[in-house]
Chains A and B, each alone.
Chain A
Amino acid sequence: MLGLDPAKIAFFVEVLVSGLLSGVLYAMVALGFVLIFKASGVFNFAQGAMVLVAGLALVRALGWLEPRAPFWPALMLAIAFSGALMTGIAWGVERFALRKLVNQTALTLFMATIGITFVLEGLGQQIFGAQVYKLDIGLPRESLFVLESVFDGGILLNQLDLWSAVLAALLVVALAVFFQRTQVGRALRAVADDHAAAQSVGIPLTRVWFIVWMVAGFVAIAAAAAWGSKVGVQFSLVYVALKALPVIIVGGLTSIPGAIVGGLLIGAGEKLAEVYLGTAIGGGIEQWFAYVVALLVLLVRPQGLFGDRIIERI
């Protein structure tokens, strides 16, 4: 094959695939951002904290229910509990923050979401505890070897990552259906296009905000389930959200497919850069590689790959 060592190709593919799969996880967090930005123009910094709170609620509820009930009903109940909590948070955010900040600049709203982040982090850890919790939602964890006929020794895959990818795909399909086929979805798209026009035809802005934060909360539960199974539920989930920022910059702030493609690009690029460049300049470049990519994309194409063009008028 092009005169290259098959073992090297196999290693490259392995790195690439593991990068793509972790990119799926970034994309799941990025989806929450995009949803809220699309429907309300708020750059939601609190998405990371929502993932943390959703994960903590899920893992603690599951831990309490597991000895008392069979596994699957316990899991469903835990998810329901976490969903109810996220609904409550969405209501609180809309009622006590966004509603009071109507007509403020995007920057003010952004800073308000930083405030929300801190409230959620503080309260979440106070209520649910700040340790590292192990989350097992019944996904298989064994490693898998594929393509053994092509490459010597095959390519190592993590089943958990594959299942996360499936979960993410289902989530995207569900969101697409929700946005395109339901009445609420249509209202959300109308508000995204033009707040004032939507309001004048009788779409209640406050309810739309509540719904969209709730949906973002459910996305946060899915992201928390996937991330939590991989690395445990802990405070560092908040930093996963910081990884999602470059993803949406690359993909475009307003595009759901953009979040997915951006996630895959960042995930794969990051792992490849770490393996092939990182050894040359000291390692650990995963920390900033995504941001530098985002910076370059911003300089060349500020709206990202799939985003709406930014037009300013005086």
Chain B
Amino acid sequence: MFYREAGHFHDRYREDMAIFPIREDRIGIRVLLAIAFVAVPLLHVAGVPPFAGDYLFSAVLVPLLILSVAGIGLNLLVGYCGQISLGAGAFMGVGAYAAYDVSVHLPGMPLIATFLLAGAASAVIGLVFGMPSLRIKGLYLAVATLAAQFFLDWAFLRVGWITNYSPSGSVTAPALAVAGWQVDTPVERYLLVLAIAALVALGASNLVRGNLGRQWMAIRDMDIAAEIIGIRPVQAKLTAFAVSSFILGLAGALWAFVNLRSWEPYAFSIDRSFQLLFLVIIGGLGSIIGCFLGAAFIWLLPLAVEGVPRWLSIPISADAASNLTLGVFGALILLTLIFEPHGLARIWAVAKHKLRRWPFPY
């Protein structure tokens, strides 16, 4: 409907293999990025209604983008490599507390380096808890990752030096500064998170199109067959755990430092793990754009469940709203699994496909 791809003839391999092989898509993504990086902050400065206050940035956009980053991390493991994990929240927690420890014990460390170290710490822990995947898989592995979740939950609360001997395990992040830029206002935090999310998305989509990503997908589709054609499952699975935990740790550090500012171990409990798992299921297993769609969905749905009855002036208690959210979530997971197992990303792709052929469907 909006554009046709007729007349695009690729005569080079790299044109064929580009992330966006169609020129209109490339233009579209640039426009989208320009809106996100330039137009949205400008609208805030200009004071246009939804962008005027801090609410949209601090309560919607920042957490949504960080969840997308975490979703990408988990999707690499679950969607691309087929190793189900119920411990994603704990790996986010590792990143958060590692970033805190770096900032406490190594003062003066640049913020970006802190985040990278947090990711690295999470990657190491992820490798350790990924070891069982070499012997077990599927549902059994899910239980093994639950072991990681419960053990790490306990460690955040009980092992003193992780929280710098704070009695309740709750800690506060230091002031954020990137190369002399003080990241104070919600809009500045939004820009920081947006930049990181864009880089992670770019990196991840390149990774999954390369050698490593193809190895993961082969393991996911049929591990024994992959082994026969020469893929080393040990290497493939452990790299998937390491890369996935790295990104989850990075997302955890962002969640703690940029979104929450001060937090307690409960922020990374098993509920967070489930939230992330739903994010990737509803968004679409094995899809990067699905992570953003899924994050938008799971973050906006509770806001909608609370907000819509208020607009319709139906009184609804906080308890009822949270129960309703739970129920709607569960029902949506079932509906997604039954009607569109490939998630929102697939719906998006189908819609695009249909529009390209409009008005001549077949």
Contact with B along A92-125 (1 / 0, CB 8 A): 0000110011001011101110111111111101
A246 at interface (Cβ–Cβ under 8 A)?
yes
Q: Which of B143, B157, B338 is the one whose CB lies under 8 Å from A298?
A: B143
Contact with B along A290-314 (1 / 0, CB 8 A): 0110110011001000000000101
A242 at interface (Cβ–Cβ under 8 A)?
yes
On whether the beta carbons of B337 and A291 are closer than 8 Å, the reply is no
B327 at interface (Cβ–Cβ under 8 A)?
yes
On whether the beta carbons of B319 and A122 are closer than 8 Å, the reply is no
On whether the beta carbons of A126 and B154 are closer than 8 Å, the reply is no
Rounded to whole angstroms, the CA-CA distance of A159 and B348 in the bound complex is 60
A245 at interface (Cβ–Cβ under 8 A)?
yes
User: Taking CB as reference atom, which chain B residue is nearest A43?
Assistant: B139
Residues of B close to A190: CB separation below 8 A: none
On whether the beta carbons of B334 and A115 are closer than 8 Å, the reply is yes
Rounded to whole angstroms, the CA-CA distance of A282 and B159 in the bound complex is 7
On whether the beta carbons of B338 and A118 are closer than 8 Å, the reply is no
A160 at interface (Cβ–Cβ under 8 A)?
no
Rounded to whole angstroms, the CA-CA distance of A267 and B139 in the bound complex is 23
User: Taking CB as reference atom, which chain B residue is nearest A245?
Assistant: B143
B128: min CB distance to chain A, Å: 11
B132 at interface (Cβ–Cβ under 8 A)?
yes
If A242-B146, A298-B132 touch, whether A117 touches B330 (CB-CB below 8 Å) is yes
On whether the beta carbons of B147 and A288 are closer than 8 Å, the reply is yes
Q: Which of A43, A111, A125, A130 is most buried by chain B, counting CB atoms within 10 A of its CB? A: A111
Residues of B close to A101: CB separation below 8 A: 337-338
Rounded to whole angstroms, the CA-CA distance of A101 and B340 in the bound complex is 12
Q: Which of B150, B332, B341 is the one whose CB lies under 8 Å from A291?
A: B150
On whether the beta carbons of A108 and B341 are closer than 8 Å, the reply is yes
The majority secondary structure among interface residues of chain B is helix
Rounded to whole angstroms, the CA-CA distance of A302 and B132 in the bound complex is 10
On whether the beta carbons of B323 and A295 are closer than 8 Å, the reply is no
On whether the beta carbons of A302 and B135 are closer than 8 Å, the reply is yes
A285 at interface (Cβ–Cβ under 8 A)?
yes
Q: Which of A126, A242, A284 is the one whose CB lies under 8 Å from B323?
A: A126
Rounded to whole angstroms, the CA-CA distance of A41 and B143 in the bound complex is 16
On whether the beta carbons of B140 and A302 are closer than 8 Å, the reply is yes
B99: min CB distance to chain A, Å: 23
If A119-B331, A126-B323 touch, whether A100 touches B139 (CB-CB below 8 Å) is no
B306 at interface (Cβ–Cβ under 8 A)?
no
Q: Which of A282, A292, A299, A312 is the one whose CB lies under 8 Å from B135?
A: A299
Residues of A close to B329: CB separation below 8 A: 115, 118, 122
If A116-B334, A287-B153, A292-B151 touch, whether A298 touches B140 (CB-CB below 8 Å) is yes
User: Taking CB as reference atom, which chain A residue is nearest B144?
Assistant: A295
Rounded to whole angstroms, the CA-CA distance of A294 and B147 in the bound complex is 8
On whether the beta carbons of B143 and A294 are closer than 8 Å, the reply is yes
Residues of B close to A312: CB separation below 8 A: 224
Rounded to whole angstroms, the CA-CA distance of A40 and B152 in the bound complex is 33
User: Taking CB as reference atom, which chain A residue is nearest B228?
Assistant: A314
A153 at interface (Cβ–Cβ under 8 A)?
no
Rounded to whole angstroms, the CA-CA distance of A287 and B323 in the bound complex is 26
Residues of B close to A299: CB separation below 8 A: 132, 135-136
On whether the beta carbons of A284 and B158 are closer than 8 Å, the reply is yes
Contact with A along B257-297 (1 / 0, CB 8 A): 00000000000001000100100010000000000000000
Q: A107-B139, A122-B326, A283-B158 are in contact. List 19 more A-B contacts (CB 8 A).
A: A104-B341, A106-B138, A112-B334, A114-B277, A115-B332, A117-B330, A118-B333, A119-B327, A119-B331, A123-B323, A126-B327, A246-B143, A288-B150, A288-B153, A288-B154, A294-B144, A298-B140, A298-B144, A314-B225
Which residues from chain B sit less than 8 Å from chain A, CB to CB? 84, 132, 135-136, 138-140, 142-144, 146-147, 150-151, 153-154, 157-159, 222, 224-225, 270, 274, 277, 281, 319-320, 323-334, 337-338, 341
Sample (19) of A-B pairs whose CB atoms are under 8 Å apart: A110-B139, A114-B333, A117-B330, A118-B327, A118-B333, A119-B330, A119-B334, A121-B323, A125-B319, A130-B323, A242-B146, A246-B147, A288-B150, A292-B147, A294-B143, A294-B144, A295-B132, A298-B144, A299-B135
Which residues from chain A sit less than 8 Å from chain B, CB to CB? 43, 96-97, 100-101, 104, 106-108, 110-112, 114-123, 125-126, 130, 242, 245-246, 249, 282-285, 287-288, 291-292, 294-295, 298-299, 302, 312, 314
